[in-house]
Amino acid sequence: DGGITQSPKYLFRKEGQNVTLSCEQNLNHDAMYWYRQDPGQGLRLIYYSQIVNDFQKGDIAEGYSVSREKKESFPLTVTSAQKNPTAFYLCASSIGAGDYNEQFFGPGTRLTVL
């Protein structure tokens, strides 16, 4: 079955540590996205990538970094520079960034920084 996987589902880290969240898709989609969701708020775009080896900052990129070395993979690193990293992180993909761009989501990773 095609889909998007994120791991782990729950992640705990100590303050000051970097942590990497994985996102893999086998839908053959070109575009991939990372969102952050806080309670009572909508989805806020962190980074997105429309093609391998290229990515763009979203609205809240500070304190985060990404890579897109393979079409299937778009890992997100939450660095110690992110001031409030505890949140629900969602990865998504779409066929492309143009025309009809329905986004398909992974199950999410809930990160708690202690």
Partner 1 sequence: GQNIDQPTEMTATEGAIVQINCTYQTSGFNGLFWYQQHAGEAPTFLSYNVLDGLEEKGRFSSFLSRSKGYSYLLLKELQMKDSASYLCAVSDSNYQLIWGAGTKLIIKP
DSSP secondary structure, 24-76, as one string: EE-S--SEEEEEEE-TT--EEEEEEEEETTEEEE-TT-TTEEE--SBTTB--E
State yes or no: residue 27 binds partner 1 (CB under 8 A).
no
Residue selected from 41, 54, 83, 84 as contacting partner 1 according to rule CB under 8 A: 41
Question: By CB under 8 A, is residue 43 in contact with partner 1?
Answer: yes
Report, in Å, the least distance between residue 69 CB and partner 1.
Answer: 23
Per-residue binding letters, 82-101, with partner 1 (x by CB under 8 A): ------x-x------xxxxx
- 13 - beta bridge partners? 113
103 lies in the binding site for partner 1 (CB under 8 A): yes
**Cα–Cα dist 14/35, whole Å:** 22
Question: Which chain residues interact with partner 1 by CB under 8 A?
Answer: 40-45, 48, 88, 90, 97-108, 110
